[in-house]
Amino acid sequence: MSAQPWLISSAPWVQVRDGNPTAMNLFLRHYTARKHRKRYQFVGPGEKMVLLTPDARGLFVWRKFIDDAVPKQTGVNCAVFRNEGDSQSSGLIRSAVDFAWARWPGERLYTYVDPNRVKGPNPGYCFIAAGWRVCGKTLGGLRILELTT
pLDDT in tens, 105-124: 999 999 999 998 887 788 89
Dist CA 122 CA 112 (whole Å): 13
**How many domains does one find in the chain?**
1
For residue 77, give the CATH number of its domain: 3.40.630.30
Does residue 86 carry a pLDDT above 90?
A: no
Q: Rg of the chain's alpha carbons, rounded to an integer?
A: 14
Whether pLDDT at 2 is above 80: no
72-84 tens-digit pLDDT: 899 999 999 989 8
In a domain, 64, yes or no: yes
pLDDT interval class at 44 (50, 70, 90): confident
With respect to residue 4, please indicate whether it lies within any of the assigned structural domains.
no
Q: Can you give the pLDDT at residue 5?
A: 46
Residue 58 located in a structural domain: yes
Phi, psi of 67 (to 5 degrees): -90, 125
**What length does the chain have?**
149
Interval 120-133 mean pLDDT? 93
- Which residues span the domain enclosing 133? 14-147
Burial (CB count within 10 angstroms: exposed 0-12, middle 13-18, buried 19+), residue 1: exposed
pLDDT of residue 6 exceeding 80, the answer is: no
Domain presence at residue 118: yes
Q: Decide if 72 is inside a domain.
A: yes
Q: What is the pLDDT of residue 66?
A: 86
